[in-house]
Amino acid sequence: MEGQPVTPSLLPISASDGELLQKFLEGAGTATQSFRYFDKRPFTVLKQHVSTFLLMVGENKPVAYGHLDEEGGIVWLGIAVSEGEQGKGYGKVMMDALIEAGKENDLSAIRLSVDKDNPRAKTLYQKYGFSVVGEKPSLYFMEYQY
C-alpha cells in the first residue's frame, strides 16, 4: 500500500555477496567515517565471521550492516547504519540480531570499539548492556557478557 512504511528484513550474507555489500558502503554516506572496518580489509574477510547481516528495505536497498568477527580469540561486533537511514530504529534491529547470533553460537562475550566522539553509538551499546573495558585516546573498547 502506498505511503506505508516498508518493514526491513534481515539478510545473512557471505563473501559471495560483495556486490550487495559494496552497494551498502557506497550509499552509507558519513557512516563510513566511524565504521572503518573495510578500509583495510577485503570482502573475503567475511569468511571468518561468526555472523554477517545486511538490513534490507525493499528488495534491493541495504540500510544497515552488522557482523560478529572472530579475530585473535575475541569476537568483535561491527555495525553501521547508512547516514540517511539513522534514527529509524535500524541500529536496534541489527543489534538485536547480532546479540541473538552470539547467543545462538554459544559465545561468552563480544567486544566492540567505538569512537569517543560518537556518543550516540556508545549510548546504544550501553542500553544493550555493554560496558567500557578499555580505551585509547580516541576509542572506547566495550564488552557484552552472555
Query: pLDDT tens-digit profile of 115-142?
Result: 999 888 899 899 999 999 999 999 999 9
pLDDT at 1 over 90: no
Name 50's Cβ contacts closer than 8 Å, sequence gap at least 6: 67, 68, 69, 70, 75, 101, 102, 105, 107
Report pLDDT for 7. Answer: 83
pLDDT at 3 over 70: no
Could you tell me the maximum CA-CA distance found in the chain, to the nearest angstrom? Answer: 49
Classify 111 as helix, strand or coil.
Answer: strand
For residue 5, give the C-alpha cell.
Answer: 512504511
Distance CA 68, CA 95 (A): 11
Residues 32-91: tens digit of each pLDDT = 888 999 999 999 999 999 999 999 998 789 999 999 999 999 999 999 999 999 989 999
Distance CA 44, CA 59 (A): 24
Distance CA 129, CA 137 (A): 23
Is residue 50 within a helix (H) or strand (E), and if so which, with residue range?
Answer: strand 49-57
User: What is the rounded average pLDDT of the residues 98-110?
Assistant: 97
For residue 140, give the C-alpha cell.
Answer: 572506547
For residue 79, give the C-alpha cell.
Answer: 555495525
Report pLDDT for 4. Answer: 56
Report pLDDT for 13. Answer: 96
pLDDT at 107 over 90: yes
Name 129's Cβ contacts closer than 8 Å, sequence gap at least 6: 144, 145
Report pLDDT for 5. Answer: 64
